[in-house]
Structure 1
Amino acid sequence: MAAQSKIKANELIEPGDDDAVELAKRHLVQPWPYAGSVGNEARALIGEGDGIYITDGSGKRLIDGPAGMWCINVGHRREELAKVMYDQAMALSYNTPWYTMNAPSAELAKRIADVAPGDLSHTFFTTGGSSAVETALRFMQFYNNVRGRPEKKLILSRGGAYHGSTYLSASLNGRPRDRDWMDGADELVVKLSSPDPFRRPKGTDVAAFTDFLVDQFRDTVARVGAERIGAFVGEPVQASGGVIVPPDGYLKRIREICRENDILYVSDEVVTGFGRLGHVIASGDVFGIDPDMITFAKGVTSGYFPLGGVIISERLLEELRRSNHPDALFGHGLTYTSHPIGCAVALKNLDLLEEGVLAHTREIAPYFQAQLKTLEELPLVGEVRGLGLMACVECVADRESKDPLQLDKDVGKRIDAHCHELGLLVRPLINMCVMSPPLIISREQVDDMVAILREGISRTMDDLRKEGVWRG
């Protein structure tokens, strides 16, 4: 007989309750687990959130440096969003999207159309970022099937990319560790180089590197055949790849090649959308491009409810409507597509963004970037880069070789551990630390964050020297 839990089903687990750790190890499978600990793992327990802060299981108050997972854009404990969830649940908690609809989803789709670039005027709602990218890819396949081009299905993606955890979306990922032990639709994906100026070939300036990236894209289209390529999927800023900001003009030039070759350009704004760069949609307002589709999630509800979506060009829909196959069925949908609670939360979240949070983000972002840039004074830091309220501190063994491999591969986790002790949660990525705080952060809180990060990196340098891992 299975061991009985010490708590009853109707009892609330308090933030510091050891029962949560026990139950996690006994019953919870964490995301991205290692085989040696899968199903037997407890991670750092978070009990509460308030503004830009969270409180861990021991009662320690921390700056939420990653804003959850790039998503708590308007901050924790916003009563306005909690009230909307309650009110909408009491009015209508759910409706089947197969043969009914709800008002919040229609209103949200209209408001998104109002701020989307070009002719992107229709939205298909999903449950998150992975399902949003998956939907965009399945729509591309359907679109080309209806248009009599079943061979036009290949997808161009890039090194360093992260687009999701579902089968097709994960197949686009360009981080090796994501795919080492996982299968994917490799026959459908063609990978290109990461647009990372920091890792450009030695002796190559940024302009020449940009030309290389564009030429590689154009040459790949010519080699593979435009008649076989259905879409290019790219993040405006590669988020989980290390906050890779592409060179100026790169995205516009790639967009033009796609347009010339009838390749659908899918801009993955799961991270950059809904405020992270100071705008609701960054593709047009920040980068000056009008994609064929834009995916979003995370910040659309500031993490308060699972929601994502794909904004689709009117041109694509019109071509389908006037095709010779009016009965062709886009056989794709989710139980929680256009969820009324999620869409209601997103509407209120959009109000908060447009009523001051976006303007604050644009005002404070230069200060945030400048203060973090001072960390390049530390010899372990190879580069600090970012845009808006997202940034990455990349550590290297030495600045000449830019080699991260000579360092302890968990240097990011070392820094995170020190910062946690000092009052800051960061997101470690091997040799990098990613920062993307709630958009409501103040200048004083930026100063606190940077001071803690500086001390955390300094302590890590001392550790590495003592262990003989690094001599910097």
Structure 2
Amino acid sequence: MAAVRDYREAEAGNAAAEAVELAKSHLVQPWPYAGSIGAEARTLVTSGDGIYLIDGDGRKLIDGPAGMWCINVGHRREELARVMYDQALELSYNTPWYTMNTPSAELSRRIAGHAPGDLNHVFYTTGGSSAVETALRFMQFYNNVRGRPEKKLVLSRGGAYHGSTYLSASLNGRPRDRDWMDAADDLVVKLSSPDPFRRPKGMSLEAFSDFLVDEFRETVKRIGADKIGCFVGEPIQASGGVIVPPKDYLKRIREICREHDILYVSDEVVTAFGRLGHVFASEDLFGIEPDMITFAKGVTSGYFPLGGVVISERLLRGLNRSNHPDAMFGHGLTYTSHPIGCAVAIANLDLLEGGILEHACEVGPYFQAKLKTLEELPLVGEVRGAGLMGCVECVADRESKDPLQLDKDVGKRIDQHCHELGLLVRPLINMCVMSPPLVITREQVDDLVAILREGISRTMDDLRKEGVWRG
């Protein structure tokens, strides 16, 4: 038996090595650097189960980022795999231009049942970027049909991440995202990031919220509401570092939008489908009823590419009553309303409603409390988050909040140590972002935080030895 095991391990090792070489020869990775584009191999993952992954070396890792905020119900869910198989045999695809399928209609009913207010209609896309792109194009179409072709500007914020398509990426406000990339800057107006940790020294949270709201109101006044089509905002800025805004800030922004007929688009690509314990967080946690909600990622728990936009009844009825009934919303995707994706999403929603949402609500506070203990470490400036999404931000010192300008890759250092210890982390410059599968247990949270603590401690030792940080 030992010989058989050794043979299988050797075969697996050979397959992993071959995959690495193939990637270096033929695979272009996302977000590459010019010096290594087309010749890069990244951490190879061979399998997953529950909250764990197995890498190319056979190492078992906690999937700290849940893929990319998306493996909400965990890896290797047989229920979802069987639905994909069954639906593929029943109907693998249909063109959405002149036919439809049952799963997309049923999923739309289920999603509308969870959406706030009168958001009763769903347009399906292939992911988050195309969902945001669809919301923006719908805003443009809506204002064209209503005779307001100048009302097209989009308000976004520093720290935002809304996608990688041309228009959605133009809204992004994270450092380094657009240093070498073009964008539709003439269509986008950027506001300040709602990051309480980076607010001016001595300013209270209440005063910071007032500042953000006043900035928004003054921007609308300066530009003119007749020029602004929509505001797009994540309830919590996810890839910007899990930025939790001040209390009631979003509600106040919503009121300004309603007052000036500016569409409010809540980007819930990350926060929807259980990440914060609810199918949608906009109303349940933040008290807002948007005009549109974008979603993706957790809608299928990453088992199939699917996204979409939930649209207000009021907006569609406004189009129905316009003087241009023949105006066409000339937008769609080959895989819009894909039957397999929609079938998987229905089964995924069954799992969420069947106890996983409740579990996420129970374990989320424990996750936050355990992560918060990492603020004991001198390299950690702040730990923040909500539900099952959290961020550890490292700084050179807490007084200046200097984000370690001498070592912008401190997050990668921590990730490398954690990888050796059994945890996959999502590093963002000087931050470590965590968003584990919603099925994580308290004991597994303990393991995750213990490994992260050790990874940060080892990184502190490295920085001291190199003279980069005195600590």
Cα 1:15/1:51, change in 2 over 3 Å: farther
For each residue in 1:120-163, what CA deviation from the matched residue of structure 2 results, as whole angstroms up to 9, or x when unmatched?
00000000000000000000000000000000000000000000
Q: 1:253 & 1:14 partners in 2: Cα distance? A: 56
Q: 1:264 & 1:69 partners in 2: Cα distance? A: 28
Please report how far the alpha carbon of residue 68 of structure 1 lies from its aligned counterpart in structure 2 after TM superposition.
0.2
The answer to whether the 8 A contact 1:271-1:296 is kept is yes
Cα 1:245/1:129, change in 2 over 3 Å: same
For each residue in 1:11-48, what CA deviation from the matched residue of structure 2 results, as whole angstroms up to 9, or x when unmatched?
x9889521101111111100000001111111000000
Please report how far the alpha carbon of residue 175 of structure 1 lies from its aligned counterpart in structure 2 after TM superposition.
1.1
The answer to whether the 8 A contact 1:54-1:61 is kept is yes
Write out aligned runs for 1:47-62 (5 A): 47-62=46-61
Q: Which residue of 2 aligns with 1:387?
A: 386
Q: Which residue of 1 aligns with 2:238?
A: 239
Give TM-score, length-normalised by structure 1.
0.97
Partner of 1:352, secondary structure, is helix
Please report how far the alpha carbon of residue 275 of structure 1 lies from its aligned counterpart in structure 2 after TM superposition.
0.4
Write out aligned runs for 1:425-464 (5 A): 425-464=424-463
Read off the aligned partner of 2:18 and give its amino acid letter: D
Partner of 1:122, secondary structure, is strand
Residues paired across the two proteins, number: 461
Partner of 2:283, secondary structure, is helix
Q: 2:393 & 2:17 partners in 1: Cα distance? A: 35
Q: Which residue of 2 aligns with 1:166?
A: 165
Cα 1:321/1:13, change in 2 over 3 Å: farther
The answer to whether the 8 A contact 2:225-2:260 is kept is yes
Q: 2:239 & 2:283 partners in 1: Cα distance? A: 22
Read off the aligned partner of 1:443 and give its amino acid letter: R
For each residue in 1:157-211, what CA deviation from the matched residue of structure 2 results, as whole angstroms up to 9, or x when unmatched?
0000000000000000001311100001000000000000000000101000000
Q: In the alignment, does 2:295 pair up with 1:296?
A: yes
Partner of 2:333, secondary structure, is coil
Q: Which moved more, 1:335-344 or 1:22-31?
A: 22-31
Q: Which residue of 1 aligns with 2:41?
A: 42
Write out aligned runs for 1:49-88 (5 A): 49-88=48-87
Give percent identity, aligned residues only.
84
Q: 1:149 & 1:181 partners in 2: Cα distance? A: 33
Partner of 2:109, secondary structure, is helix
Q: Which residue of 2 aligns with 1:9?
A: none
Partner of 2:325, secondary structure, is coil
Q: Which residue of 1 aligns with 2:7?
A: none
Read off the aligned partner of 2:61 and give its amino acid letter: L
Read off the aligned partner of 2:222 and give its amino acid letter: R
Partner of 2:282, secondary structure, is helix
Partner of 1:262, secondary structure, is coil
The answer to whether the 8 A contact 1:13-1:20 is kept is no
Give TM-score, length-normalised by structure 2.
0.97
Q: 2:381 & 2:29 partners in 1: Cα distance? A: 32
The answer to whether the 8 A contact 1:396-1:407 is kept is no
Please report how far the alpha carbon of residue 405 of structure 1 lies from its aligned counterpart in structure 2 after TM superposition.
3.7
Read off the aligned partner of 1:301 and give its amino acid letter: T
The answer to whether the 8 A contact 1:15-1:56 is kept is no
Q: Which residue of 2 aligns with 1:114?
A: 113
What runs of 5+ residues in structure 2 fail to find an aligned partner? 1-10
Over 4 Å off, 4+ runs: 12-16
The answer to whether the 8 A contact 2:426-2:433 is kept is yes
